[in-house]
Structures are given as structure tokens and as C-alpha cells.
């Protein structure tokens, strides 16, 4: 964990006495007390992470490219190698002083360090708690590592680090096959990702509005490329906490079920609870999930009727009708 390694690294290096220190992509439970809080800027594409650190009094942002120079940066490795390399390219471009890189071995810390050694002068490294922190000076270039949204063979724009970055998710495709043409009115796409479900829902003329609710800023940037219909609205917010001014006629979703690398069905259950809160009395929820995930009990607790629409060996498609007022 960065909590164990960052203090050790700071004993080996000297940070500049003033200026902004960018901390990029920290985990929600990261302990940053070794750094001067008043100088820290949290950079994360996740609305949940930004809200968490903002509540603790940190400055936060999702788009580092809109900012000025940093006197130092701390880059936390992500699970997606291409996303990590893009993040390091941004840090290199916008940091005048030292850059610290921290991550677990399972996040590819060793391979990233190896790749960087051929590009920069690594000042030192420390291994601890199944991970590594290392550092080097900024101000050079890693332009060939910089990537953003790109058009894929499937015809949609995606980006490294977002869900289903390589193309259409098969579960979402299965849900689209099950959706009727009769969907009308206001529709919310919870955990909308890069907009695949919304793009298809908007082919229905009777749909008045589609609200893409997504906590990952880069995914939402991709969605803006993929969903150009004037009926679409984009919301960078935790879907569980989204509170629109009007109730929805329908909710569609392929909810997340991982926290880090661990399966976490409570995420999907929270999305179901949020859906019931967002819907009109006669509203409907349409969702797809991995077949082994235990969502039926939560659906029955929050809706008057639950219908299993089938699916395949891997995924199930469910419809829930008439939310109960708890």
C-alpha cells in the first residue's frame, strides 16, 4: 500500500518547498498524511474518489489536462497498463520537479519500472508490502505513451481504463436484444460507461430523454463521442447518489460488481435500490448481470414484480416493475 511506501520514499528525496503536488489516481483508502495537505491536488477520473477526498478538505479534479504546472507528482498505478502509461505521460509533461510512482506488483509495478528505465533516469526505488515506489525527475517527454479516447473496430469510441475498452461487452449486447421497442419517456442508464446502451435506446422515437449516469470521467468523455442525440444528458456522478429533479419511466443498467479485483455484489444491489428510488410508480428496470450474482432477493424487496427474461449460460436478463415505496 502507498501508506507503507510513500513515507519511506520521502525520507530519500526532498520535495520542493512550495507549489502544487498532484496525486494521480489514489485509491479511496489511500493515506496521504505524509504529504502537506494544503499543497495536494487529487486527480482522479472517478467521481466517488473525488467526492471522498473533497469531503476531507482536499482539492480535487478529474481533468489534469486543464491544469497548469506541478512542482511534484505522485502517480498511483492502475490495473490497465495503457491507462497507467497515459497517466505517466501527463505527469511527465506537467511536472517540473520529481515524480513518484507507486503501485502493487499485481498492478505491474515491476514492468512499468523496467519500461521507464529506458526512458528516464530513475533516482531510486523501494520495495515493500508486495509493491514498489520509485522516482525520477519530470520535464521530459513520453508523448508516445499519451493516449485518449479512440474509435474502435466496433464503431464506438473507448479509452484505456474504462469498462470494456476493447469493444462491446457481451452482457450489454444481450440486454439490448431483450429491450422492447416500446420503451418511452425518460430513461436513465446507470453506470452508462461509454454509452453503448444509451446509443441503442435513443433509436426509439418515443424516448424523450436519456440520462447517462457514470462515475468515470474518461468513460463519459467517450460517451460524448458515441451519443450525439440531443435527447441525451451526461452526468458525472456516482449512480447510487444521483438525484434528478424528475422521476424516470425506465432504468437500464449493466451494473458493476467489482471493488478492485474482488467480486462485490453489494454494488449491484445498491444500483437496484437506486433504480427503485428513481422510477415512477409504474416504471420499469431492465438489467443484465452475470448469472451467479444473487440479485433476485434485492429486486423482489424493491419491486412488485420481477421477471426473468432468460439470457444464456453466462448472463441473465431481468425486468423489474412497479417500485415499492420503502
Q: What is the pLDDT of residue 269?
A: 96
The yes-or-no answer to whether 2-145 and 150-323 have a common fold is: yes
Whether the CB-CB separation of 104 and 77 falls below 8 Å is answered with yes
CA angle 202, 208, 212 (to 5 degrees): 60
Q: In whole angstroms, how far apart are CA 12 and each of 30, 47, 92, 105, 133?
A: 20, 33, 20, 21, 11
| Nine-digit cell string for 244 | 434528478
- State the fold for domain 2-145: Rossmann fold (3.40.50)
Distance CA 268, CA 186 (A): 22
| C-beta atoms surrounding 153 within 10 Å | 7
- pLDDT over threshold 90, residue 284: yes
Q: How many CB atoms lie within 10 A of CB 297?
A: 11
Q: Tell me: the pLDDT tens digits for 140-169?
A: 789 999 988 999 999 999 999 999 999 999
Q: Which of 10-19, 57-66, 229-238 has the highest mean pLDDT?
A: 229-238
- Chain-centroid distance, C-alpha 104: 19
Q: pLDDT tens-digit profile of 20-33?
A: 999 999 999 999 99
Domain 150-323 grouped into CATH 3.30.420.40: no
pTM for this prediction: 0.94
How far, in whole angstroms, is CA 239 from its chain's centroid?
11
How many whole angstroms separate alpha carbon 326 and alpha carbon 324? 6
Predicted local confidence at residue 68, as pLDDT: 79
Q: Where are the domains of the chain?
A: 2-145, 150-323
Q: Mind listing the pLDDT tens digit for each residue in 103-142?
A: 999 999 999 999 999 999 999 999 999 999 999 998 778 9
In three-state form (DSSP H/G/I as H, E/B as E, the rest C), the secondary structure along the chain is CHHHHHHHHHHHCCCCCCCCEEEECCCCCCCCCCCCHHHEEEECCEHHHHHHHHHCCCEEECCHHHCCCECEEEEECCCCHHHHHHHHHHHHHHECCEEEEEEEHHHCHHHHHHHHHCCCCCCEEEEECCEEEEEEECCCCCHHHCCCCEECCCCCEECCCCCCCCCCCHHHHHHHHHCCCCCCEEEEEECCCCCHHHHHHCCCCCEEEEEEEECEHHHHHHHHHHCCCCCEEEEECCCCCCCCCCCEEEEEECCCCEECCEECHHHHHHHHHHHHHHEEEEEEEEEEEECCCCCHHHHHHHEEEEEEEEECCCEEEEEEEEECCC
Amino acid at each position: 500500500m502507498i501508506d507503507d511506501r510513500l513515507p519511506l520514499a520521502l525520507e530519500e528525496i526532498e520535495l520542493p518547498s512550495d507549489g502544487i503536488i498532484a496525486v494521480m489516481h489514489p485509491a479511496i483508502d489511500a493515506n496521504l498524511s505524509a504529504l502537506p495537505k494544503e499543497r495536494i491536488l487529487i486527480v482522479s477520473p472517478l467521481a466517488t474518489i473525488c467526492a471522498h477526498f473533497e469531503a476531507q478538505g482536499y482539492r480535487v479534479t478529474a481533468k489534469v489536462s486543464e491544469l497548469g504546472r506541478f512542482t511534484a507528482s505522485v502517480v498511483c498505478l492502475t490495473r490497465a497498463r495503457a491507462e497507467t502509461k497515459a497517466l505517466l505521460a501527463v505527469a511527465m509533461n506537467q511536472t517540473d520537479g520529481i515524480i513518484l510512482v507507486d503501485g502493487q506488483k499485481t498492478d505491474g509495478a515491476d514492468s512499468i519500472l523496467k519500461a521507464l528505465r529506458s526512458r528516464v533516469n530513475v533516482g531510486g526505488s523501494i520495495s515493500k508490502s508486495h509493491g514498489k515506489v520509485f522516482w525520477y525527475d519530470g520535464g521530459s517527454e513520453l508523448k508516445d505513451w499519451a493516449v485518449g479516447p479512440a474509435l474502435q473496430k466496433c464503431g464506438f469510441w473507448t479509452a484505456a481504463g474504462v469498462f470494456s475498452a476493447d469493444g462491446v461487452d457481451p452482457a450489454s449486447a444481450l440486454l439490448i436484444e431483450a429491450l422492447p421497442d416500446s420503451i418511452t419517456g425518460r430513461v436513465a442508464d446507470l453506470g452508462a460507461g461509454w454509452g453503448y446502451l444509451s446509443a441503442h435506446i435513443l433509436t426509439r422515437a418515443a424516448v424523450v430523454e436519456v440520462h447517462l449516469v457514470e462515475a468515470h470521467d474518461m468513460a463519459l468523455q467517450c460517451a460524448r463521442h458515441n451519443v450525439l442525440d440531443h435527447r441525451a444528458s451526461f452526468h458525472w456522478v456516482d449512480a447510487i447518489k444521483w438525484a434528478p429533479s424528475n422521476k424516470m419511466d425506465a432504468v437500464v443498467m449493466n451494473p458493476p460488481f467489482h471493488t478492485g479485483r474482488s467480486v462485490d455484489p453489494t454494488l449491484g444491489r445498491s444500483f437496484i435500490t437506486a433504480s427503485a428510488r428513481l422510477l415512477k410508480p409504474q416504471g420499469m428496470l431492465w438489467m443484465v448481470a452475470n448469472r451467479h450474482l444473487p440479485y433476485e432477493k434485492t429486486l423482489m424487496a424493491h419491486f412488485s414484480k420481477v421477471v426473468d427474461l432468460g439470457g444464456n449460460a453466462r448472463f441473465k436478463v431481468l425486468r423489474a416493475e412497479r417500485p415499492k415505496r420503502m
